[in-house]
A = this chain, B = another copy of it.
Amino acid sequence: MPKQKLVIIGAGMAAGRLLEHLFETAPDAFDVTLFNAEPRGTYNRIMLSPVLSGEKSYEEIVTHDDDWYTEHGVTCRFGERVVAIDREKKIVSGENGDVPYDRLVIATGSNPFIIPLPGHDLPGVLAYRDADDTDRMIEACKPGAKAVVIGGGLLGLEAAAGLRLRGMDVTVLHLMPTLMERQLDPSAGYLLEKELSGRGITIRTGANSKEIYGKDRVEGIRLDDGTDLPASLIVMAVGIRPNVAVAKNAGLDVGRGILVDARMQTSDPSIYSLGECVEFEGNCYGLVAPLYEQAKVCAAALAGSADQAFVHTETATKLKVTGVDLYSAGDFTDGDDRDEIVFRDPARRIYKRLVLKQNRLIGAVLYGETSDGAWFFDKIRKAEEILPEARATLIFGQSFAGGAPLDPMAAVAALPDEAEICGCNGVSKGQIIGAIDKNGLCDLDGVRACTKASSSCGTCTGLVESLLAFRLGDAFAAPAKKTVCGCTDLGHDDVRRLIVSQQLKSIPAVMQELGWKTSCGCAKCRPALNYYLIASWPNEYVDDGQSRFINERVHANIQKNGTYSVVPRAWGGMTTAAELRAVADVVDKFNIPAVKYTGGQRIDMLGVRKEDLPAVWADLNAAGMVSGHAYGKSLRTVKTCVGSDWCRFGTQDSTGLGIKLEKMMWGSWTPHKVKLAVSGCPRNCAEATCKDIGVVCVDSGYEIHFAGAAGMEVRGTDLLTKVTTEADALEMCAALLQLYREQGFYLERIYKWSARVGIEKIQAQIVDDAENRAALYARFLDSQRNAQTDPWAERASGQKDAHEFSELVLAE
C-alpha cells in the first residue's frame, strides 16, 4: 500500500505529540509534510518562562530537533505560511508552493489577543506567545527599566516574574479584582498577589488601560483613572484566540475554534484538527494536558482506529514561577449545590480549598502547599465518592488519609511547651499553662491580663481557649461569643481592629489573614467586610459591588415584582417646580405605575424596569437630581422643618443646616442606614428626636441629639451636647457620624452602637475631647473626597456596571 500523503499545518506541542504517536502506532502509513509559520520546529512552549527568566536556555526546551524530523522522514517547511487549502483538489498552498494531501491536520494553535488600545502597535509593545516574543523581551530587558505587563493571568504573571528576575521594575495591570481569577479563587489570588508583591512586582488589580503612548517607541501607558505609568516595555498577555483563519477560509465549520468531533475530525472527513485552535463541545483549550490527549486520539484516528475518543475533562494548572506553590483543578465556582472544605494557615501563607458536589470532589485550589494536588485531581477526574469518615481529614491530603479527624484538644495537647501560641506577644504554650496554674486563671480575660496572649490581634484566641479547656476541663466554659458569622470565630470588633492593625485592604486579604473558614465568605460577612474596608481605607479600597445586596448594587430598591423603586435626593426635603416636572416627565416616559411621597421628604417612583434604570437616572440627572441612596446602608435623608425661614416659631435656619448636613454627608457609607433631621424649634416638626442623629434648634443654639429610632423599635434620642454655632453643629454631627463609622458594627444602628459603647464614652470622645473631635471631622471630610460621586450618573453614562442593567435585555 502506498503511503498516504499527510499534511500538518503547525508544529506546536500538539502537532509534535501527534507525530510521536503516529510514528509509534503506524510508522509507515504516512508521508508527512509539516508546515510551521515559526522558523523552527517543536519546542516546549510551557517552558518559555524559565527561558525568559534565564533559568533555562532555548536549547533546553526543544522537543523535536532537526535530527528527529530527518530520522522520521518529515518534510519540514518551517518559516512558511500556508496561504490556502483547496479541499476539492486536496491541495495545501504554502507561500513557497502547493502540497497535495490525502489527510490534513490543522494545528495552527492560537494567537495572542492584542487589545486595540491607541499605541498598541508602537515598538516596545509585545505579545508573549512564542520563542520570538521571548527573544524580543529578553532583548528589551534593561535592569532598572520599567516594564508593564497587561494581564494578570498565567502567562502575564510568568512574564512579569521573568522580567523581574532579569532586574526590571515590573508592574502588572489586571482588570479583575484578583489575579488568575480563572484558575484561582480570590483567597489564593490574594496570596499570590502578596507573594509577587513581596518579590518586588507591583500589582494593580481593577486596572483598566486606556492608551499606550510614546513617540517613536513605547514610553508608557495611561489608565482610565488617570494614572500614568512610564514604561519602556509593555507586554500584552491578556489571552489567546484560536487561530482559525486558514480553516475558515477553506470553508470548514468554525465556532470560536475549529469544530471537531471526539475523533478530532472537522466538518471535512479528510481534515482533522487539534490543539488550541479547536473547539470541542463548546470548549477551547489552553493547557497542555488536553492537547496531549487530543494528539493521542487524533493519531489513532489517522491510523484508522475508531476506538479512541476525546473526552472533555477538568484540567489542572500550576504556575511556573519558582517558589510559588499554586495548584488549581476542576470547577471551584460557588453554587448552591456544592459545599466546600477550607483550610487556612495565615502564618504559613497556606490556603487550601476543596469543592464538593454530591459528595464528590469537583474542584481544588491549593496555595502554599500543593503536594496533594495530583491526588486531589485524580479524585476529581474519577468523580470518586468521598465517604463521610474520609471527609473530615480529606483536606490534609494523601498522607493523612484514613487518619482520625483532628481533635483541637489533642492538637494543643500534642504541642510542645515552647510552641508559640501568641505571635504578637511571643507567648508560648508553657507560659500560658504556667500562668493558668499559678494564678488560678479560669477564663480568657485572665490569660490576657497575665500573659498578654490573645490580647493583640486576637487570632490565637481559639488556641488559648483550647489550652484553657485542656487544662481546666469542664471547669472552663468557653464564652458564647458573637461572631460576625459562621465563617469566622472573630467578632465584629476584632475584625474591625485587625483590618486596621494588619493593614488588610481587600476581602480576600481579610479572609486569609484572619483565617476565614470559608473561601469567599457568606452573605453575612462579605457586606460587613466590604463596609469595614471602605470605612478603614476610604480613598484606597475599591468598593466590591458583589459584596453588596442587590439594592446597593443597582442603586435602587428592588420591589416584589422585580422592578425597582427610584428615589432622587431632595436636599433637606426641598424641591422645585422644574424638578417636579422632570419627575412627572420621567413617570410618563417610562410608564412608571406608581409615585409616592416618602416619609423621608422625598419622592419615590415605583415599578421601574431594571433595564430602564440608567435612562431614568439620565433624565433625573439632566434635571439636576442625584441618587437619594434610599437603598443604602448610608446617609438616607436629612429631614427638616421650614425653620426660621418661614415658621413663626423657628429659632434657626433648620432647612439651611439640614441642606448643609446632607451636602456634607451624602454618599458616605455607614454601618447601617442613617437618618437625620433638623427641627427649627423644640416643637420638633421634623421629628428629630427619633432619628439616628437629630438637631433641635433652640434660641441659644443647637441641641445635638442621637440614637433615636422609629422602626421596629421606637426610641427617643439622647442628648449628645449643645453647641452655639452652625459650624459647631456641622463639626459635631460629622464627628459623631465618623465615630459611628469607625466603631459601629455592620448592621448596627446608631442607637444600638450607643447602647453597646455607652453614651458617656461617646461624649468623652466627641464632646469633651476637642482635638479628637477635630480629627474625626477631618477624617470624615477626607473619606468624603471620593465618596460623593453620583452612582446614578456613573451608571447612566454606561461607565459602570453596565452588565447589571443589560441582562434583562439579553434575556429577551
Within 8 Å CB of A573, what residues of B?
A: 596-599
B574, B601, B603: the one within 8 Å of A599 (CB): B601
Q: Given A570-B597, A597-B597, A642-B606, decide whether A714 and B712 contact each other with a Cβ distance below 8 A.
A: no
Q: Which residues of chain A in 498-554 are interfacial with respect to chain B, using CB atoms and an 8 Å cutoff?
A: none
Contacts of A349 in B (CB 8 A): none
Q: Does A708 reach chain B (CB closer than 8 Å)?
A: yes
Residues of B within 8 A of A689 (CB): 710, 714
With A685-B711, A690-B710, A710-B689 as known contacts, state yes or no: A648 contacts B558, CB within 8 Å.
Answer: yes
Point out the residues of chain B lying under 8 angstroms from A580, CB to CB: 580-581, 583-584, 587, 595, 603
Contact with B along A711-731 (1 / 0, CB 8 A): 111111100000000000000
Of listed A576, A690, A708, residue having the most chain B CB within 10 A: A690
Contacts of A715 in B (CB 8 A): 714, 716
How far in angstroms is the closest Cβ of chain B from A378? 46
CB–CB B717/A716 < 8 A: no
In the bound complex, residues from chain B placing their C-beta under 8 Å from that of A575 are 595-597, 603
- A606-B642, A689-B710, A710-B690 known; A576-B595 Cβ under 8 A: yes
Assembly CA distance A713 to B714 (angstroms): 12
**A639: Cβ under 8 A from any B Cβ:** yes
CB distance from A587 to the nearest CB of B (A): 4
A577-B588, A587-B577 known; A650 vs B597 contact (CB < 8 Å): no
A687-B711 in contact given A642-B596, A646-B565 (Cβ < 8 Å): yes
Enumerate chain B residues within 8 angstroms of A686, measured Cβ to Cβ. 599
Per-residue contact bits, chain A 478-489, to B (CB 8 Å; 1 contact, 0 not): 000000000000
* A559 interfacial contact with B, CB 8 Å: yes
B597 adjacent to A598 (CB under 8 Å): yes
How many chain A residues touch B (CB < 8 A): the figure is 60
CB-defined contacts of A646 to chain B, threshold 8 Å:
559-561, 565, 594, 606-607
Q: Which of A565, A598, A682 has the most CB of B within 10 A?
A: A598
> Does A684 touch B at the CB level, under 8 Å?
yes
For A595, the chain B residues whose CB sits under 8 A away are 574-577, 580
Q: What is the count of identical protomers in the complex?
A: 2
Is A578 engaged at the interface, CB distance under 8 Å to the other chain?
yes
Residue interface mask A643-676, B partner, CB < 8 A = 1: 0111110100001000000000000000000000
- Across the interface, which residues of B come within 8 angstroms of A690, CB to CB? 687, 690, 710, 714
| Interface pair B712/A683, CB less than 8 Å apart | yes
A600 at interface by CB-CB < 8 Å? yes
For the complex, give the distance between the alpha carbons of A598 and B645 in Å.
Answer: 16
Contacts of A717 in B (CB 8 A): 714
**Distance, CA A650 to CA B606, complexed state (A):** 14
Counting CB contacts under 8 A, is A602 at the interface? yes
Q: Mark A586-623, 1 if CB is under 8 A from B, else 0.
A: 01100000111111111110110000000000000000
- Judge whether B650 and A560 touch: CB under 8 Å: yes
Residue of B whose beta carbon sits closest to that of A686: B599
Report Cα–Cα, A188/B646, bound state, in Å.
42
Contact among B578, B604, B687 for A584, CB-based, below 8 A: B578
A587 to B577, CA, bound (A): 6
Residues of B within 8 A of A559 (CB): 642, 646-648
CA distance A684 to B192 in the complex (A): 47
Provide the bound-state CA to CA distance between A645 and B711, in Å.
20
Closest B residue to A565 by CB, please name it: B646
| A685 nearest CB neighbor, chain B only | B711
Q: Which residues does chain B contribute within 8 Å of A604, judged by CB atoms?
A: 642
A597-B604 Cα distance, complex, nearest whole Å: 11
CB nearest to A600 among chain B residues: B599
A624 CB to nearest B CB, Å: 14
Contacts of A711 in B (CB 8 A): 683-685, 687
Chain B residues with Cβ below 8 Å from A558 are 648
Give the distance in Å from the alpha carbon of A597 to the alpha carbon of B568 in the complex: 12
A718 to chain B, nearest CB (A): 11
Minimum CB–CB distance from A639 to chain B (whole Å) comes to 5
**Minimum C-beta distance from A570 to chain B (A):** 6
A363 CB to nearest chain B CB (Å):
33
Complex contacts, A607 vs chain B, CB 8 Å: 646
Closest to A585 in B: B577
Show 28 residue pairs from A and B whose CB-CB distance is below 8 angstroms, ordered by the A residue.
A559-B642, A559-B646, A559-B647, A560-B644, A560-B648, A573-B597, A574-B594, A574-B597, A575-B603, A576-B595, A578-B584, A580-B583, A580-B584, A580-B603, A581-B584, A596-B601, A597-B598, A597-B603, A599-B601, A683-B712, A684-B711, A687-B710, A687-B711, A689-B714, A690-B690, A690-B714, A710-B714, A714-B714
Given contacts A599-B639, A715-B716, 7 further A-B contacts (CB under 8 A): A570-B597, A580-B587, A594-B645, A596-B601, A685-B711, A690-B690, A713-B716
A contacts, CB < 8 Å to B: 558-561, 565, 570, 573-578, 580-581, 583-585, 587-588, 594-604, 606-607, 639-640, 642, 644-648, 650, 655, 677, 682-687, 689-690, 708, 710-717
